[in-house]
Amino acid sequence: MKFKDFVYERPDIENYIKRFKELLALIGESETAETEIKAIKNLFDLNDEMDTLITLVSIRNSLNTQDEFYEKEQDFFNENVPALQEYEHIFSSKILKSKNRLVLEQEFGSLLFKQAELRQKTFSPEIIPLLQTENKLDTEYSKLIASAKIEFDGDVYNLSNMTPFLQNLDRDIRHRAQLKVSEFFQSNEDTLDRIYDDMVKVRTEIAKKLGYENYVQLGYDRLGRTDYNHEDVANYRKQIYRDVVPLVTELKKRAAKRIGIKDPKSYDLTLSFLSGNPTPKGDRKWQVEIAKNMYEEMSTETAEFFHFMLDQDLLDLDSLPGKAGGGYCTYIPKYRAPFIFANFNGTSHDVDVLTHEAGHAFQVYSSRDNYPQYRWPTFEAAEIHSMSMEFLAWPWIDGFFKEDADKYKFFHLDSSISFLPYGVAVDEFQHEIYSRPDMTKEERKAAWRKIEKKYLPFKDYDDDHFLEKGTYWYRQGHIFGSPFYYIDYTLAQVLAFQYWVKSRENHQEAFKSYLSLCRLGGSKSFVNLIKAVNLDNPFVDGTVRKVIEPIKAYLDGVDDQKL
């Protein structure tokens, strides 16, 4: 069955609630463990029905944000899904109070109950209108970003399609492209400030109504973090500042030397080589064929998975007018199908996003027989699988890049390391914002620029006065739609680097460990998950330095001036 044939009909919300209540009634003081287990499993099935419809609408709306039908359906779910959380709240309360809890924990695992305890803290029926407002603001931001029509050198482009110009060998083109992208954000500055200000206010109000001091801890609890806190994250950021920022600063100097620029500006940082950044040597169709061969050779498990994705048309990779920006992987429960969404633009990012999202898709495909709550890892663990797959693809990377393979490997490691300071800057910014929710829009911009200078001291915006005043964060969608999530990419990167090391020592053994991690899904919390496959914990002081050392040695061993 092809994705286009996956059936969507608007659900009858009242009937769904009625069925949910009937099953909830079977979880209670007078029921046997067997009755409760059966009811819980039936609730999982009912949720899968609803999640399938929600996901289909989300995908089809992002494929074409101008499709009026799916825009209306997205509005329908934005309005109605928050109200359904009340019944999830009741479910959590019931299983936590069950006299059969020990038996239920043996059947469903203890993490389900820890997550239920967090859901009890993070929801109350009185916040439903606020959740609806939050959803609408998130949709408004996404639609605004997708609406970009940037006139450049005689043609019109969206934000994703501007990327090749930002990496162009011609410095003037890079410079003008940066200014044009900034021009789009500047023309929407008041709207973006208003959307974000409203988001901060509504999230702070939600936190207060739920009894939190501010949104920081609520943000952590919403993400299901059970075994670390903001102090652990602050210590991790210190490691990045101490051990990674100096290395990245040195790498930027090497890049400037490679491209022959003594005083590099922000628009020079996107170019790594005078011979041009590495690019895949074929179009989207060709790259998918290379990926198919790679996954056929990598393992029987990856071969089965990728054929499934191709047979059901579960990859949408072209950048088209009206299509939402970015890339993602999601899962459609009824069809047991992952779905990969991307915007190819002819840069090495195409290969990165294909292998990255395939890592997510392979993980959920590998754990799709788990209970629904355990199909996906917890948020902070989810990116380990995607980023690790990028490195597990290295033995086949010459198929994509041909003569640029060595250049790509250097570029991939360099850019992955260089991402870490930016990632923690985004996190530190959000801690500042939600700790001081009454900041003015000017204070927010000043805070961003101060943090940016701390972690990215080499970033000089030249004559781009709009970015210089602290607005780069406008383009980071996670800051708007997924507060506190972005640090998870950096945690996962540190863990993925460990798979890079393992893969170079013994690829087969590294993949075996990776497969175990994928199959665990979300059955364990973040720290316990990485413990189960013997990865080093990034919150432990010294882990970042240990991981970075072999990467620095590899990069130092490359004569990058010849690339």
CA distance 202 to 204: 5
User: 299, 309, 484: which is closest to 389 by C-alpha?
Assistant: 299
Give burial (CB, 10 Å; 0-12/13-18/19+) of 157.
buried
| Under 8 Å between Cβ of 361 and 338 | yes
Going residue by residue through the chain (563 aa), what tens digit of pLDDT does each one get?
Answer: 999 999 999 999 999 999 999 999 999 888 999 999 999 999 999 999 999 999 999 999 999 999 999 999 999 999 999 889 889 989 999 999 999 999 999 999 999 999 999 988 999 989 999 999 999 999 999 999 999 999 999 999 999 889 989 989 999 999 999 999 999 999 999 999 999 999 999 999 999 999 999 999 999 999 989 899 999 999 999 999 999 999 999 999 999 999 999 999 999 998 989 888 899 999 999 999 999 999 999 999 999 999 999 999 999 999 999 999 889 999 999 999 999 999 998 989 999 999 999 999 999 999 999 999 999 998 879 899 999 999 999 999 999 999 999 999 999 999 999 999 999 999 999 999 999 999 999 999 999 999 999 999 999 999 999 999 999 999 999 999 999 999 999 999 999 999 999 999 999 999 999 999 999 999 999 999 999 999 999 999 999 999 999 999 999 999 999 98
User: 332 has which bridge partners?
Assistant: 337
φ, ψ of residue 329 to 5 degrees: the values are: -125, 140
| Under 8 Å between Cβ of 29 and 101 | no
User: Distance from CA of residue 483 to its chain's centroid?
Assistant: 11
pTM, two decimal places: 0.87
- Report the length, in residues, of the chain: 563
User: 466, 446, 461: which is closest to 182 by C-alpha?
Assistant: 466
User: Distance from CA of residue 397 to its chain's centroid?
Assistant: 23
| Under 8 Å between Cβ of 22 and 35 | no
